[in-house]
Structure 1
């Protein structure tokens, strides 16, 4: 596969160090470049920063066993010294082709991420489930909103007095949309922020529990023939749009955090 976004030197150095510890040998420029999909210049810079080769050494490294691993402080200092040498390469995307080793048919068939594994995932059942849940959840939230005081409003008074909407639709739109967003942030791994993933996890679970509670409350009141919800339920439901807005804004801010910048 190919990558248009090379690994940064600061990220490459600890990976090379881990590779050396696992193999018990000093890696060569070629092995680092092939393993981590980087250019030879950046691979050499990482090895120089770790002290595995000298700054003037261009060939393959020796095959002798590792005697010691450089301290973290020394790695940081060396990385800063060679940073200028690879600044130009880091700024410009480098494309390197990595050829995977041949795999047996039995292993490649079950390999995660392989075309065959991806083809086994069928999304149409999820669409059917989502359609059924949408009808039930939407109707339940809108009817619960009516029992708690939500109803027809004029969103633009003085501008479009003839245009009205049912404010109860804000309940399913806000609650279910946020639950889906939080689940995606939690399970997809698209953010490197541990705080964002933790917040998304617990808020998604809370949103699902709260949504289920809202459905239960509506059906119980409907079965009892109630025309107006108790004040406790009305209080909670009326606060949901504000709570969802706050949680959504907080999650977006956490997703944009860069843990590396915070540590630096």
Structure 2
């Protein structure tokens, strides 16, 4: 059951009616005015109304006591003040967040740096052709001559089919050994192959170039000595070259296409 307010009614009281009762509240030592929480508790009012009442207490001076015509007649005792029930305190709603539109992004023009060097032009490779022509003549003649000293010569690869067709098998030496050496050197230095293929190309290219150099040395030494038939160990080594070139070429082609 709701308790009556200071004037006996259960309806909320105006600030002007609560102000005298608030002034009459007893204060402890050091207090000039009752606190807002005490006003809410005593009069059962909400925080906004208690704050307004406290402001009036601080800003409005107390009215002087009214004169009575008959001092012997005591004033009627006022009705006991019953605080009104305080309404539930509802927290103030939070302000909606302010949405700021995104600022336009300023387009910055690219800054040109005059000191930046121009991209370098690729180096021409046509002089390699001039370098390769004399080397091709010397290497070709050396391998063909060594092939003639080790049993390579004119053969008929298509007997019974094309009897008149013949070929000098000595040309297989410069084509196989030197072509593989150049290809393996390119694979090694390109840097665009797996590590296993690059390692194999490196050592096989160096080995192929070394064998080519030894073949040229052997031919010129035998030719200078007037030898018409190479020793057996040179013949054996030269005869194995086409097979070795075939195996290394197939292995390198396989490694180039792997991903590990």
TM normalised by structure 1 equals 0.55
- How many residue pairs are counted as aligned between the two chains? 151
Q: Match of 1:158, SS? A: coil
Q: Does 2:245 align with 1:258?
A: no
Q: Does 2:142 align with 1:133?
A: no
Counterpart mapping for 1:55-70 below 5 A: none
CA displacement, residues 170-221 of structure 1 (integer Å, 9 cap, x when unaligned)? 0000001100110111001221x11100000000000000000000000000
Counterpart mapping for 1:36-75 below 5 A: none
Separation in 2 of the partners of 1:256 and 1:236?
30
Q: CA deviation at 1:124?
A: 2.5
CA-atom RMSD, angstroms? 1.5
Match for 1:159 among 158, 161, 167?
161
Q: CA deviation at 1:232?
A: 0.7
Q: Match of 1:108, SS? A: coil
Partner of 2:59: none
Counterpart mapping for 1:238-253 below 5 A: 238-253=239-254
CA displacement, residues 51-106 of structure 1 (integer Å, 9 cap, x when unaligned)? xxxxxxxxxxxxxxxxxxxxxxxxxxxxxxxxxxxxxxxxxxxxxxxxxx877555
Separation in 2 of the partners of 1:151 and 1:107?
62
Q: CA deviation at 1:245?
A: 0.1
CA displacement, residues 114-160 of structure 1 (integer Å, 9 cap, x when unaligned)? 3x431xx1323211110110000000000000000000001111111
Q: CA deviation at 1:237?
A: 0.1
Question: Which structure: larger Rg?
Answer: 2
Point out the structure with the larger helix share: 1
Residue 107 to residue 220, structure 1, CA distance change in 2 (3 Å): farther
Separation in 1 of the partners of 2:115 and 2:222?
56
Q: CA deviation at 1:107?
A: 4.3
Separation in 2 of the partners of 1:219 and 1:105?
59
Partner of 1:224: 225
For structure 2, which runs of at least 5 residues remain unmatched after alignment? 1-109
